[in-house]
Structure 1
Amino acid sequence: MVSHGIKFVFWRFVLAVVVIVIFTPKFSSAKQSKLVGLKMNMIDRCWRPNPEWRRYRQQLAFCSIGYVGKMINNVGNDLIHYKVIDSNDDPINPKPGTLRYGASVIQGKVWITFQKDMNIKLMKPLLISSFTTIDGRGATVHIADNACLMIYKTTNIIIHNIRIHHCKAQAPGMVMGPNGKVISLGQVDGDAIRLVTASKIWIDHNTLYSCEDGLLDVTRGSTDVTISNNWFREQDKVMLLGHDDGYVRDKNMKVTVVYNHFGPNCNQRMPRIRHGYAHVANNLYLGWMQYAIGGSMGPSLKSEANLFIAPKVGSKEVTWRKDGYKNVDKWEFYSVRDAFENGASFVVTKGGSVPKPNYNKEQGFKVVDVKSVRSLTRSSGAFRCSRTSIC
């Protein structure tokens, strides 16, 4: 049994090396010259310098870091390439060519791209099947003005380069489920992206703002999540990690929050964490109104090399702890190599040791000096990729 396990790990490594080699063509000197001077974070440096990224989209699956690990289960010879050509939406009988058909009806490994710029108004929340990648590169894609995304009891999902905003709460109703069958869905809050009992989820390079409830919720036992390179702005409640104070299953939750840009005009929850563990590293915080990082129920959080720029007026304190919480001594909020401007401050847990992320080899990454955070988050959010050059 041990030898079989070693062989399995070895061939996974060989496959990763072969794919990276295939996906990395030789650049002409003219194209190489365009890359000079660009300072990119570890994720972007993995795929953005490739001017042939359109031909090698699946290279992205090998670029993720943090608790999500590498997304190699989303690629392979059995991958289905699906292109969205129709911005309309039917929540019960999705038509081929629409986003819902590719994300909910088709099962297996699906890589979704978009034929052109689109404004998609979802009639009901979009429930995304396991092993699905929604890749908005090469088009300006908005999901806005009604229902938004739900990742419900599924795994191995990438959401990349989408603008999600003005999401609204939804009444109970029937909708195509993530297994390709119509299901009954209860009332849904107006979140941009909500994870429910989901695992191995990568949310990268999206722009999220102005939703009725929150921008990103990781709830009900969801874990192994990486939230990277996103731009969160114009929002009261930004990011919730953990369902509620009584949902103890979230003690197993592990989330990486890295290279994101928070602000302007964000109020609170960047993130708010319950029960579980979060590694928050190399993010830019452009002010807050109530607080930046907070939570309840004995959460563990390592804040590492983030830049916190306090608002000119109002609260300068980064952290918040729920009033009346009895087990204050169980809190583990640590600040390591963070930088604070405009009078920002961080109340840390006294004594004890800083909890480490304990990443495995494929999850690990180097947290850079906080002096580089501004440049490493400069491209956060969704971007438009030129047809003739890099993104």
Structure 2
Amino acid sequence: MGSKELVLVFLFVLHGATANIHGANVIDRCWRGQPNWAANRQRLAVCSVGFAGKMRQNRGPGVIPYTVTDPGDDPVRPRPGTLRYGATVLAGKVWITFQRSMHIRLAQPLFVKSFTVIDARGADVHIAGGAGIVLYQVNNVIIHGLHIHECRTQPAGQVVVPGGAVQPASGMDGDAIRLVASSKVWIDHNTLSRCEDGLLDVTVGSTDVTVSNNWFLHHDKVMLLGHDDGHAADRRMRVTVAFNRFGPNVNQRMPRIRHGYAHVVNNFYDGWRDYAIGGSMGPSVKSQGNLFVASGADNKKVTRRMPVAGKDWDWHSIGDSFQNGAFFHQTGSRVRPNYKKHQAFAAASADDVRLLTKDAGALMCSAGSAC
């Protein structure tokens, strides 16, 4: 066999290996195997599934490309080139990329406007040591490829919000990402850890959200779906939690749901101390094809209902895998997500979850090669 034939065989094997890696992870299979992904970044917008659906409104000739060149942050008068200028101030549909790897310390929460994509592929971008990201009454937002960690409550101050107004920054308590009254949001391939409060909160009537391919680790209260027990508007909340990795060193809220509906599918739970999936106010949960690995003898139970009297809630486990004595307490009836065609996807076997989630979190991608 000549050198040309050997090269062709190698490329064939490499392509097959890449396809196998992405496997049944329908999101990654949509874009990651393409060497020209950096030249066609907007393809990502049609790769989402679950309740967020396809993010087609975030692509097209009217989208403004914006490159972050400056890691600095002025929360009141953002400079062109900074993340805050592109995510909050710049008008229209915006697709944000990063010129290089950088560490950004947000002086106040970053308020992201509607029709904005934060796409950190190709750079190692950390938002850390300061405030986190807030989506307040917005829609059609994608957050992809960030490392977010060590977020803390910041001293009182002013911050610019979408539309240009400057207002007091209050009521922000150290979340990595918080959604407030927002819809059609896709949070994908981020690595989140060690923040003061939650890593991801979906609250105050937010709905049609997909949380996929993220890595949540080294944290207590991971993910909250639903504002509080008295906020009945969260009954319409619908969230897909798919292909994520939880752990190591996580405690609870993966997720904790109030009122609404969560489809929790093909996630890897690498231990927990208190519980994995919890809730109050009668939410519905479809747990499907997940891998639950209990971390010790203290608590092998996956679920927690608050109060325990929620015996008629619709919580079902379908095709989940349980290791180290983990178990799921099922109640009520099976409630399907009733996805529309552009939201639907096939759940993989729990046997494939380790492979499906092995690249969860922010990816190391280089332009000109498969990611």
Please say whether Structure 1 and Structure 2 have the same fold, judged by a TM-score greater than 0.5.
yes
Whether 1:176 aligns to 2:160 is: yes
Q: CA offsets, 1:70-116, max 9 Å, x none?
A: 00000111110000000000000000000000000012110000000
Structure-2 residue corresponding to 1:333: 315
Q: Which of the numbers 306, 313, 318 marks the counterpart of 1:322? A: 306
Residue of structure 2 in register with 1:256 after alignment: 240
CA distance in 2, matches of 1:231, 1:208: 6
The answer to whether residue 21 in structure 2 is matched with residue 37 in structure 1 is: no
Structure 1 pair 164–254 and aligned structure 2 pair: CA distance change class (3 A): same
Q: Does 1:374 align with 2:354?
A: yes
Secondary structure in 2 aligned to 1:236? strand
Q: Does 1:208 align with 2:208?
A: no
* Cα distance change on mapping 1:31 and 1:137 into 2, 3 Å: farther
How far has the Cα of 1:228 moved from its partner?
A: 0.0
Task: Name the structure 1 match of 2:3.
Answer: none
In structure 2, the residue matched to 1:282 is 266
CA distance in 2, matches of 1:180, 1:309: 47
The counterpart of 1:108, out of the listed 72, 75, 92, is 92
Q: Distance in 2 between matches of 1:178 and 1:280?
A: 32
CA contact (8 A) 2:222 2:250 kept: yes
CA positional deviation for 1:36 = 1.8
Q: Determine which of 295, 303, 316 is the counterpart of 2:287.
A: 303
For residues 202-255 of structure 1, the C-alpha deviation after alignment (integer angstroms, 9 at most, x for no partner) is 000000000000100000000000000000000000000000000010000000
Letter in 2 for 1:64: S
Residues 289-319 of structure 1: CA deviation (Å, up to 9, x unaligned): 0000001001100000100000133200000
Q: Which has the higher contact order (CA 8 A, sep 6+)?
A: 2
Instruction: State the partner residue of 1:63.
Output: 47
Partner residue of 2:69?
A: 85
Aligned-residue offset at 1:29: 8.5
| Secondary structure class of the residue paired with 2:257 | strand
Residues 105 and 181 in structure 1, CA contact (< 8 A), matched pair in contact too: no
Would the aligned equivalents of 1:127 and 1:151 in 2 still touch at CA under 8 Å?
A: yes
Unaligned 5+ runs, structure 2:
1-7
| Structure 2 contact 35–367 (Cα < 8 Å) conserved | no
Give the secondary-structure state (helix, strand or coil) at the position aligned to 1:55.
Answer: helix
Matched, 1:348 2:325: no
Structure 1 unaligned segments of length 5 or more: list them.
1-27
Aligned partners of 2:134 and 2:178 also within 8 Å: yes
Bigger shift: residues 84-93 or 171-180: 171-180
TM-score, normalised via structure 2 length = 0.95
Q: Give the letter aligned to residue 385 of structure 1.
A: C
What TM-score results when the alignment is normalised by the length of structure 1? 0.90
C-alpha change, 1:289 and 1:329, in structure 2 (3 Å) is closer
Which residue number corresponds to residue 117 of structure 2?
133
Pairs within 5 Å for 1:166-245 = 166-245=150-229
Letter in 2 for 1:377: T
TM-fit CA distance, 1:331: 1.3
Partner secondary structure for residue 365 of structure 2: coil
Structure 1 distance, partners of 2:96, 2:77, is: 19
CA distance in 2, matches of 1:247, 1:380: 32
> 1:154, 1:178 within 8 Å by CA — same for their partners in 2?
no
Aligned residues: 360
Please say if residues 180 and 203 of structure 2, whose CA atoms lie closer than 8 Å, have aligned partners that are also in contact: yes
- For residues 31-65 of structure 1, the C-alpha deviation after alignment (integer angstroms, 9 at most, x for no partner) is 66532213211000000010000100000000000
Name the SS of the counterpart of 1:35 in structure 2.
helix
